[in-house]
Amino acid sequence: MNTTITLSGRNGIRKGRDLRGEIRRINEIVPFPPVVAEILDAMHDKNVTASKVTALIESDPALTARILRSANSPFYGLRADVVTVEHAMRMLGLEEIGHLLLAAQMKSRLSALDPRQRERTEALWRHSVAAAAVARLIAREHRLPTDGKEYTAALLHDMGKLVLIQYYPKECAVLEQLIEDLCIDDVEAERQTIQVPHTEIGRQLGEQWRLPKEYIEVMLHHHQPERSPAVPVLTAVVRMADLMCESWGDGIGEPDEGSTQSFDACTAVLGPCAPALRDVHFYDMREHLQQELSKQKEMMEALA
């Protein structure tokens, strides 16, 4: 891909921009610390010990503080105060601690972006956390073979939009108008304005962050999970959660029109391993999951 892109849109936007350079700069503003990458790897290592993960978390005081604050939030309703990471690990488990850690990390880094774009970064944060929670619900309820990676994958799936929010604020306004006027999804609107969709930007950003390959693949293919060569089930779960959140207002720029078709594409991918999903209607699932998602609000507030 040519690293210099030209922006052109219906409103006459034209600028020469260095996409790779802007992704590198985002990586400097929103870095992915090695300790977090280590913990993500450890979460999926069957031989990892709780003491190793505890030591990794405790090496970063800021992460430790966020984990303890989240563990003591009303969301978990623990009877005794959690005062150490080891205690939190015993009470919540390794997987939940990993999810808290990544969410806290992303929230912290998003706060470092241009304060003038806070409304958009907050919307991205709310959407990402909501999609992660819904993806976990879908995977658990239907016993889908995602190896517990659906929460992290959903939390990261739209991170390509960080570059748009930080460096293309005017174009973001045009994107939003195009989506509303033409009832097209954000990927198509991005192609019409900046020529490179957030999915491709996300792939490059994920590579900069040195994320595991399956998460990069979800970032690239979540709008078309059937094109995911290695993890189509994981990608379809994330896309299904993405659609649900967009449809009830926890979204960042995708019309409700076309949601049922995209949902059907997801069920086609998931059907072989979860036959019951073939008979699930989009709006029935949306109502059920929205009720479950309301339980996550206290957690989002604890991470803020």
Which range, 51-55, 223-227, 263-267, is most confident? 223-227
Q: Is the pLDDT of residue 228 over 50?
A: yes
Class in CATH terms, 4-30+117-303: mainly alpha
CA distance 187 to 254: 9
| More confidently predicted of 150 and 286 | 150
Please give the mean pLDDT across all residues of the chain: 83
pLDDT of 297: 57
Task: Tell me the mean pLDDT in the region 58-75.
Answer: 84
Chain centre to alpha carbon of residue 59: 25
Q: What tens digit of pLDDT does each residue of 161-184 get?
A: 989 988 888 888 888 888 888 888
pLDDT tens string 87-99: 999 999 888 888 8
In tens, the pLDDT along 24-34 reads 888 777 777 77
**Who has greater pLDDT, 282 or 304?**
282
pLDDT (0 to 100) of residue 95: 81
Please tell me the number of Cα atoms within 13 Å of 213 on its side-chain side. 5
pTM above 0.75, yes or no: yes
SS (H, E, C) the chain: CCCEEECCCCCCCCCEEEHHHHHHHHHHHCCCCHHHHHHHHHHCCCCCCHHHHHHHHHCCHHHHHHHHHHHCCCCCCCCCCCCCHHHHHHHHCHHHHHHHHHHHHHHHHHCCCCHHHHHHHHHHHHHHHHHHHHHHHHHHHCCCCCCCCHHHHHHHCCCCHHHHHHHCHHHHHHHHHHHHHHCCCHHHHHHHHCCCCHHHHHHHHHHHHCCCHHHHHHHHHCCCHHHCCCCHHHHHHHHHHHHHHHHCCCCCCCCCCCHHHHHHHHHHHHCCCCHHHHHCCHHHHHHHHHHHHHHHHHHHHHHC
| Domain limits, the chain | 4-30+117-303, 32-111
Higher local confidence (pLDDT), 216 or 62: 216
